[in-house]
A and B are shown apart, each in its own frame.
Chain A
């Protein structure tokens, strides 16, 4: 079952913060975050494994609450380059090439 992302879209001014949530109705082993800019391939941002760890990529960080089966992606002091569609992908068991189930995406637009 597809994870649910919220919000569906967000508009930010450069320097502002935003949070994107990804919720699943199933128990998760890992959550994977990707960003896709318009007309380009999705690019891997980070993977979070169960255990509640938090990771960062530049000023983009994420957390994973396995009890709530939820992950949040934090865009801090957003830059124009952060614009794009963010997808979370979830896996119910240890990564071994098992299919990722992606959410519907969150479109982020950062304005000057």
Chain B
């Protein structure tokens, strides 16, 4: 069974540009989560999507946005990139509630570098 897949693996952008990251959840998972992991830091919650709707977001500015498509895949968009946006962006998926046991399945991430 395929795990969570993310693309691209690496992305280099310059300040002010926009970045788009993509995530395909495990088959049967309807929830998708996005986390930011800056170098040497923990995982910071960004966004949670379920059944196509944004259900919750972390303490990030509005230039971080995303969406979930009918096939449950998801896209994270970061506008007006800043140097501090450089980080590993992890996507995770989970079973729908109430089948969800609390386990998140993470992808290997997309590393965004802003120059």
Q: Interface of A with B (CB < 8 Å)? A: 2, 30, 32, 34, 39-44, 47, 87, 89, 91, 95-105
Q: Which bucket holds chain B's interface residue count? A: 20 to 34
With both chains docked as a complex, state the minimum distance between the C-beta of B73 and any C-beta of chain A, in angstroms.
17
A interface, over-half SS: loop
With both chains docked as a complex, state the minimum distance between the C-beta of A48 and any C-beta of chain B, in angstroms.
10
With both chains docked as a complex, state the minimum distance between the C-beta of B54 and any C-beta of chain A, in angstroms.
11
Given contacts A41-B108, A97-B50, A97-B94, contact A102 B42 (CB under 8 A): yes
With both chains docked as a complex, state the minimum distance between the C-beta of A64 and any C-beta of chain B, in angstroms.
13
Kindly count the residue-residue contacts between A and B in the assembled complex, taking CB atoms under 8 Å apart: 65
**For the complex, is B64 an interface residue (Cβ under 8 Å from A)?**
no
Q: Interface of B with A (CB < 8 Å)? A: 3-4, 31, 33, 35, 41-45, 48, 50, 55-56, 58, 90, 94, 97, 100-109
Q: Judging by beta carbons under 8 Å apart, are B55 and A41 in contact?
A: no
User: Chain B contacts of A99 at CB under 8 A?
Assistant: 33, 45, 48, 56, 58
Given contacts A40-B108, A41-B90, A103-B42, contact A97 B56 (CB under 8 A): yes
Q: Which of B42, B94, B109 contacts A105 (CB 8 A)?
A: B42
With both chains docked as a complex, state the minimum distance between the C-beta of A8 and any C-beta of chain B, in angstroms.
10
